[in-house]
Amino acid sequence: MRYKTNLSQRGQADTATYRFAQGLGIFSIVLGLFEVVCGRWLGRLLGLEDKEYIVRLYGGREILTGVAILAAKDPTPWVWGRVAGDALDIGTLACGYARDRDNIGSKVTALAAVTGATAADVYCAAKLSGESRLPLPPVKDYSNRSGFPNGMPRAKTGTAFVSEVVVETV
């Protein structure tokens, strides 16, 4: 994506953040598949026994956002979508926690993992939103600026000579 970015990027297309977003998209799909396939087991582990369909539903949501991030020309709204999804996940996990204190270790781990993912999502979404929508101006062509008026071979003379004023070279 050749977008002009904010100042800290010194006017260059911020491909690093773009790649980061793509990474989040893939992560989203993998996690979603896992939630769909292992919905039952996950549900039990996290204290949502009778509500395993919720886990599967959330898995579907993850897959959809993931695909959208990868497919969209501009992934920004979809990365924000992930942030909203994260909030939903945290809420749901908190409910499971409130129900009973079984498997407390897994619940805390899950919460910590979701919080981490939220931080990454917010960072990425904010960074993407900082980009201006203007496409970069076309690249200037400096391919004729070799600096060697008579060609490189004639300039290739090896030694660097020291000026005459230097009387005591070391």
Positions touching other proteins (CB under 8 A) are: 7, 10-12, 15-17, 19-20, 137, 139-150, 152, 154-170
Q: What are phi and psi of 13, to 5 degrees?
A: -55, 130
Q: Specify the residue, 98 or 165, whose C-beta has the smaller distance to other proteins.
A: 165
Distance CA 100, CA 52 (A): 16
Query: Which tokens sit at 101?
Result: 């204190």
Distance CA 92, CA 101 (A): 15
Q: Minimum CB separation from other proteins for residue 75, in Å?
A: 16
Distance CA 4, CA 71 (A): 21
Q: Minimum CB separation from other proteins for residue 126, in Å?
A: 14
Q: Minimum CB separation from other proteins for residue 141, in Å?
A: 7
Q: Minimum CB separation from other proteins for residue 132, in Å?
A: 12
Q: Specify the residue, 101 or 143, whose C-beta has the smaller distance to other proteins.
A: 143
Q: Is 133 exposed, middle or buried (0-12, 13-18, 19+ CB in 10 A)?
A: exposed
